[in-house]
Amino acid sequence: MELTLNHFLFVSGALFAIGLAGVLVRRNLLIIFMCLELMLAAANLTLVAFSRYHLVDGQPAYDAHVLLFFIITVAAAEVAVGLAIIVALFRSKETTDVTQVSTMKY
């Protein structure tokens, strides 16, 4: 069976849905953060799949790869800052459980 664009888009959508479920269901802040990264990576797959299936002069559209390069850079910066915030939170609250951090909830 020939691989179509939809195969890759389905995998990407399913991975995004798994990440979304993790963000909603889990309580550990670190794992919620990991699931966010998973959603970001799933979106990357869509970009690469579209660039490969939409050829420009017989070549993939490489602009998508450049955009992906930027997305990976921003994700790395985001992880560094996010983990620093989690460490600062752990220092003051002694927990990474989101249900224990509810000062700003109401």
Partner 1 sequence: MSFLFYLFAALALFGGIGVVVCRNPVSAAFSMILSFIGLAALFIQLDAYLVGILQILVYAGAIMVLFLFIIMLLDVGAEEKRRRPLVVFAGGGAVAIAFAVLVALVLSRGGTAGKTLPALSAALEKSDVHHIGELLFGTYWLPVQIVGVLLLAATVGVVVLSKRELK
User: Which of the residues 11 through 30 are near partner 1 (CB under 8 A)?
Assistant: 11, 13-22, 24-28, 30
The H-or-E segment that residue 68 falls in is helix 63-93
Give the residue with the Cβ less far from partner 1, 59 or 103.
Answer: 59
98 binds partner 1 (CB under 8 A): no
Pair of tokens at residue 40: 């970001």
Q: Is residue 52 packed enough to be buried (19+ CB in 10 Å), middle (13-18) or exposed (0-12)?
A: middle
- Position 72 contacts partner 1 (CB under 8 A): yes
Is 76 a residue that touches partner 1 (CB under 8 A)? yes
